[in-house]
């Protein structure tokens, strides 16, 4: 099984591994991640232990290719993506293990297609109940701009005509977040792989 992680923007474009936009839930420090530098974030302890927020290169050194890595690059629409994408590409240089990047932001896929074409890239998609004509057009435009190697689809939206059409034309579809045996069944029926946690992982292990 692989490892999925999130890399949010920092004030100086460093690549840190942290899920939330805000520090409050996972640390005893408050405030937005994007307002702090990578060095400042690396000094903040994670709640419930002595470990600190890791840099992406720390995670890469720890895994050392022993498991596939799926790196979600988190962005803000009002921010440039190049500094964070550059930091991720720099950390991945020379890394020999199986790895892919993905993002909700089609600009990320376009950036890696142009500047790091050998890195496998994905487009993260959630329909959020929007299956109108205009919403479908927006998804097609995002797909055209990102030109991803795979989709990572919200499991709550499956089955989806859009996802099925892309899968039919040969684009692999991952699905997130699979947290139960029932959702594993949905993933098995409508996707090629599950991004799972909790009981979703337990079910995967049992099968």
- The domain locations on the chain are 3-148
Distance CA(164)–CA(171), nearest Å, equals 9
CB 146 within 8 A of CB 110: yes
Residue ranges of alpha helices (H) inside the chain are 38-42, 56-63, 82-92, 106-115, 133-146, 161-168, 181-190, 199-206
Cis status of the peptide bond prior to 169, with omega within 30 of 0: no
pLDDT above 90 coverage of the chain, percent: 88
Q: Is the pLDDT of residue 108 over 60?
A: yes
Distance CA(126)–CA(165), nearest Å, equals 15
Give the residue, 93 or 202, on which the prediction is more confident.
Answer: 93
Write down the pLDDT at residue 202.
Answer: 67
- Across the strands, what pairs with 41? none
Q: Is the pLDDT of residue 14 over 60?
A: yes
> pTM of the entire structure?
0.93
- Across the strands, what pairs with 46? 27
Helix, strand, or coil (residue 134): helix
Question: Any residues with CB less than 8 A from the CB of 146 and at least 6 apart, and which?
Answer: 106, 107, 108, 109, 110, 113, 121, 123
> Binning pLDDT at 50, 70 and 90, where does residue 105 land?
very high
Structure tokens at 13: 């474009």
Write down the pLDDT at residue 183.
Answer: 96
Write down the pLDDT at residue 130.
Answer: 74
Give the residue, 134 or 65, on which the prediction is more confident.
Answer: 65
Q: Is the pLDDT of residue 203 over 80?
A: no
Question: Any residues with CB less than 8 A from the CB of 95 and at least 6 apart, and which?
Answer: 60, 65
List, for residues 127-138, the tens digit of each pLDDT value: 986 778 889 999
Q: Is the pLDDT of residue 206 over 80?
A: no
Write down the pLDDT at residue 22.
Answer: 97
Query: Of 10, 23, 17, nearest to 53 (Cα)?
Result: 17
pLDDT above 70 coverage of the chain, percent: 97
Residue with tokens 């999925």: 4
CATH of 3-148, one of 2.30.40.10, 3.20.20.190, 3.40.50.1100, 3.30.465.10: 3.20.20.190
Task: Quickly count: other Cβ atoms within 10 Å of residue 40's Cβ.
Answer: 17
């Amino acid at each position: 099984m692989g490892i999925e992680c999130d890399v949010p923007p920092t004030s100086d474009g460093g690549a840190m591994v942290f899920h939330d936009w805000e520090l409050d839930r996972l640390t005893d420090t408050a405030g937005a991640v994007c307002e702090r530098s990578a060095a400042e974030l690396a000094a903040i302890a994670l709640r419930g232990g002595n470990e600190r927020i890791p840099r992406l290169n720390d995670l890469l050194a720890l895994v050392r290719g022993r498991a596939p890595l799926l790196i979600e690059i988190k962005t803000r629409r009002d921010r440039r993506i190049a500094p964070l994408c550059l930091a991720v590409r720099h950390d991945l240089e020379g890394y020999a293990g199986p790895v892919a990047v993905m993002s909700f932001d089609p600009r990320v896929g376009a950036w890696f297609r142009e500047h790091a074409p050998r890195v496998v890239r994905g487009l993260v998609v959630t329909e959020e109940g929007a299956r109108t004509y205009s919403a479908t057009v927006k998804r097609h435009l995002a797909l055209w701009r990102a030109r991803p190697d795979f989709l990572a689809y919200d499991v709550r939206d499956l089955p989806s005509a859009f996802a099925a059409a892309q899968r039919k034309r040969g684009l692999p579809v991952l699905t997130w977040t699979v947290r139960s045996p029932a959702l594993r069944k949905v993933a098995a029926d409508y996707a090629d792989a599950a991004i799972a946690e909790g009981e979703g992982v337990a079910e995967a292990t049992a099968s």
